[in-house]
Amino acid sequence: MMKATAKILVICLIVATIFSSGVPALAASQAQTTQDKANTLNALKILTGTNGEYNLNNKLSNSEAVTFIVRVLGKGDHVLANKELYSITPFTDVPANQWYAPYVGYCYQNGLIGTSLQFKPSEYMLEKDFLKLVLLALGYKENTDFTYDKVYDLAYELKLISLNRYVNNYHVPTVMTRGVTVDTLFAALNTPMKSEEKKLYRKLIESGVVTAKQVSDSGLLNDTVGTAIEYVKSKDVDTLEVKFNEPIASIGDIKIYSADNGLPIGFSIRALSGDTLTLLTAVREAKKEYIIEISTIEDMDGNIIDKAVQGFVGYKPEAVTSDFFRISYIEPVNQRSIKVFFTHPLSINSEIGLYYSIEKDGIKVANGEQGQIKAGLLNSHKNGVLLTLNSDVLQKDALYTLTINGSMISGYGVKLNNGLGDSMRFVAEENEDARFALKEIKAVDSKTLLLSFNKEVNPFLAKQIYNFYVTDTKDKPIRISSTTVDSTGTKIYINLESELQKDESYIFIINNLNDVTKQEYITEATYNFKADYGKVETFDLSKVIAVDNQTLEVIFNKPLDSETASKLENYTLAYYNTYAGLPIDNVLFDPDNPDRVKLFLPKNSPLNSSKEYELRINSNMKDYMGNKISTAKNYFYGTSTKRADITIGSVVPISTDTVKVTFTREIAFSSPNLLPSNYTLEYNFNGLEIKKVPINITYINSTTLVLRFDTLEYEMPYKLKIASILDYTGETVKNQEKAFELKAE
């Protein structure tokens, strides 16, 4: 009695839950009548009838039940084709010559029915026994996944039966009818197999009984989601990802072609998993538009759409960002050259060709260890290197892989990818200017020539004036006073001692010059040019900004000569319209900002916001081409903004033993900033308080230090303490600290 009461309570709770949810159980199935479902099962070759008559009110015999189970598993044709294999059974009441014998035998051999002496083929089957057969057909195991007395519980949980059948038949032995059988089998076909994503109806498709299209057209499936492509994304130069709005079971034909000219793109299928299709394709041009067409797309419910069409653009590689030393991106140049950019600034170590190799389809086409690759630091980018091969082996639109050895060290003193090395793929480009060559020569003014090259030049040879020669058409030489390589690294300014005559013709000779990789040379080459120069902007002081009451930023209209820009005696500060000089403690020229300097004033002589000042520049100040300054005076007002104390800006791990420390203001290149004992790394290890000092300190620039320790552990909370910091003006701030962690990328 207690068990019966508990069962009724459970049933009531289930009823309450269903109605409170507002979603009727088996809503999809209830939209169709039993006759509709019978027509569907007939179309799927499970149920037979005559002119739409299926005797749905008749009781279901045991022999009919096993026949339905065999057919719903898609094994009907297989059983009929192998009668001799299945007709002999251990049941004494199943003669081998009876039509139902092979169906009984199949179910027996596959563990769907037991081993009693009699099968009783003509007796009517109870609903509970039929539900057990369906559960076994779905892959559930008796006494493992369910027990016989719990058949109704699992059947209701899987939505094989309605709530009414669950409530009314649970304790009442009920004989199965053909109509109820139709309802049950219809629900079973839409039920996932145990431990499998696919539903039972896919057994029919896999066995070849019906096609996916026949299932989709049969009325079995009731899917309210229309299959569609959500997006197509180029994941790499040769990898395409197609995302659908639902999991996909199968696809038909695929076409990929250019939106411009309709030319097809070759591809192969890498994977179809869930809602994502991954394709390997031929190389696609960056940002160019393409179209993909996919036909006969079948979802996991068996619904099929004829075609989906979606546009997308070719792959544009994004730069890799990392605190560690990694390859950031590759810029193809031509058939023998590429530019490689990194996440750290580089040093001359990056010019060791042994580190580099290039592969195509797993085969090396250029090996630095065999002298086939030369490397040169870029003048235009402190994080870049130009690689030049010894022949034109890179083919346009072909896919290559650059691999760099982990021994390569960055300008911060850490190994590439923490010593593991790095690689990146790139698509080669074609360029007619494959060899190192002079593109243009022109007169900028009466005493300056500008040479433009197709590659960055070797700055050492470019600065040797004897590598160049200038004459007029009568072979009269014009002496060269100096040369300068501009910030792009591809241009050289030639400064002459005497003036060129406007619109006259001249001859320029390059005696010896190579590119930045020292792989390609221009030797004894002669060029003609015309001195058709115009008016040239003179070197001037642009403006002075009071950053705070102790710091001035002085900006010029051209990049500066580093030597004259760094001399304190080239700057004079005074009150407006006076000649009395005001003290300047220090000057800072940063090569990364070559058109400006910073001037630092003493703490006891700050600027006054109510006063106007005058900054004068000595006539010895030069721009990067050696021209002396023209306008050397500028007026500005002071400020009441006080200079903030220097603090630690950030502590960032850049390898598993090194951190980069940045400061909010400029620091001095002297003690205590360069003493290891000035820095302490503190952390807790298994309850022990650990302290250690760096084994090496590198001064990178005025706001950056690199500290190397013996090792750093991932996910360990660290605290860096600095006893004192000496800023660029000589002021000291004590007892700074900053917490950080080394996190896995």
Give the distance, in angstroms, between the CA of residue 704 and the centroid of all CA atoms in the same chain. Answer: 29
Query: Model confidence over 276-314: pLDDT tens digits?
Result: 999 999 887 777 899 999 998 988 777 788 889 999 988
Residue 118: DSSP 8-state: -
Amino acid at 716: M
Question: 654-680 pLDDT, tens per residue?
Answer: 999 999 999 999 999 999 999 999 999
Rounded to whole angstroms, how far apart are CA atoms 89 and 528?
Answer: 103
User: Tokens at residue 427, please?
Assistant: 């698509």
CATH classification code of 438-530: 2.60.40.1220
Residue pair 736/708 in contact (Cβ under 8 Å)? The answer is no
Model confidence over 140-165: pLDDT tens digits? 999 999 999 999 999 999 999 999 99
In this model, does residue 14 exceed pLDDT 50? Answer: no
CA distances, 256 to each of 245, 271, 522, 622 (Å): 20, 17, 46, 59
State the SS3 of 343-388: CCCCCHHHHCHHHEEEEECCEEEEEHHHCCEEEEECCCCCCEEEEE
- Cα 717–chain centre separation: 28
Compute the distance between CA of residue 41 and CA of residue 54 in angstroms, rounded to an integer. 11
**Under 8 Å between Cβ of 369 and 358:** no
* Phi then psi dihedrals of residue 40, to 5 deg: -65, -45
Q: pLDDT averaged over the chain?
A: 90
Indicate if the pLDDT at residue 4 is higher than 60.
no
CATH code of domain 648-740: 2.60.40.2180
pLDDT tens for each residue of 676-696: 999 999 999 988 999 999 999
Instruction: Answer whether 673's CB lies under 8 Å from 699's CB.
Output: yes
Rounded CA-CA distance 230/398 in Å is 30
Top CATH class, 541-637: mainly beta
- Measured in degrees and rounded to the nearest 5, phi and psi for residue 597 equal -135, 165
Q: What would the mean pLDDT of 458-485 be, rounded to a whole number?
A: 93
Structure confidence at residue 28 (pLDDT): 40
pLDDT in tens, 42-52: 999 999 988 88
CA dist 674 and 476 (Å) reads 55
Q: Say what the pLDDT of residue 724 is.
A: 96
The H-or-E segment that residue 257 falls in is strand 254-258
Q: Which CATH class is domain 229-313?
A: mainly beta
Residue 8 has pLDDT above 80, yes or no: no
Q: Which of 19-28, 424-433, 439-448, 648-657 has the largest mean confidence?
A: 648-657
The pLDDT score that the predictor gives to residue 431 is 72
Give residue 434's pLDDT: 66
Domains 229-313 and 438-530 share a fold: yes
Strand-by-strand arrangement of the 480-485 sheet: 438-445, 448-453, 491-496, 480-485
* Residues 6+ away with beta carbon under 8 Å from 623: 539, 556, 558, 559, 560, 561, 629
65-79, 198-212, 336-350, 425-439: which has the minimum mean pLDDT?
425-439
pTM strictly above 0.75: no
Give the model's pLDDT for residue 287. 77
pLDDT of residue 24: 34
- Fold for the domain defined by 327-427: Immunoglobulin-like (2.60.40)
Give the chain's end-to-end CA distance (angstroms, integer). 63
d(CA 182, CA 169): 17
Mean pLDDT of the region 429-447 = 84
Domain map (residue ranges) of the chain:
2-60+124-218, 229-313, 327-427, 438-530, 541-637, 648-740
> Partners of 660 in the beta sheet?
652, 706
User: SS3 of 131, please?
Assistant: helix
pLDDT of residue 213: 77
Mean pLDDT of 6-34: 43
Within 8 A by CB and 6+ apart from 375, the residues are: 350, 351, 352, 353, 355, 356, 368, 385, 386, 387, 388, 517
390 vs 358, more confident: 358
Question: Is 309 buried (19+), middle (13-18) or exposed (0-12) by CB count in 10 A?
Answer: exposed
Counting every residue, how long is the chain? Answer: 745
3 state DSSP class of 285: coil
pLDDT for the residue numbered 433: 61
Given a cut of 60, whether residue 27 has pLDDT beyond it is: no
Q: What one-character DSSP code corresponds to residue 416?
A: G
